[in-house]
Chain A
């Protein structure tokens, strides 16, 4: 079963606007990660936020984590056409946290 679920499933915005994607999960976690996938390619790691962190920034990316609500959000500011991709959250799972469980992803389209 999926640990993380992204919302919305698809998002289409104009270039320059901000894009917000949400992720909800079910069980306690140590960390949550966000990945990007361009069409026809593998996933690329974007950012990791630990369970004791509430917010983290990386360039135009801002990730928040609310462990009380078991949710995270990814904000991309000043979007560009090159940001068009699918975005996935992933949470650690299982004993020893050797595995990640991925959500189904949000398909983001940036219109020029």
Chain B
């Protein structure tokens, strides 16, 4: 298995509180991704990073911010959590090269519940 660790694995919090999810990799891969998975919507990209301090928005970026200060860590922050952000969040990594030629490797997810 690719060396990807997501923390925490489960979290319950209240509306309006800030939440930070962490993705840590030991593969030294350049690309890192944050997705959310919801019933009926499949997997949707929130933000991704193509290098240290280089990030870009995905399909559903509103209400989320990210930071990548080191190659190995990619943080996802919900500044003020809302119930609509209750979801399972997955981190993925990918080695360099054209995106379509490289598979992504996924962590086991963080289940986030916002009450």
Contact = CB atoms under 8 A, between A and B. Distances in A.
B48 A99 contact: yes
Nearest to B105: A45
Interface in B70-90: 90
Interface residues of B, number: 28
Contacts of A88: 42-43
Contact of A99 (B4, B40, B45, B101): B45
B50 interface: yes
Contact of A104 (B4, B42, B104): B42
A45 B106 CA distance: 9
Contacts of B107: 42
A97 B99 contact: yes
Given A88-B43, A105-B42, A100 B108 contact: no
A67 interface: no
Interface of B: 4, 31, 33, 35, 40-45, 48, 50, 56, 58-59, 90, 92, 98-101, 103-109
Interface of A: 2, 29-31, 33, 40-45, 48, 50, 88, 91-92, 94, 96-105
Given A42-B109, A48-B101, A102-B35, 10 more contacts: A30-B98, A40-B109, A42-B4, A42-B107, A45-B104, A88-B43, A97-B98, A99-B48, A99-B99, A103-B42
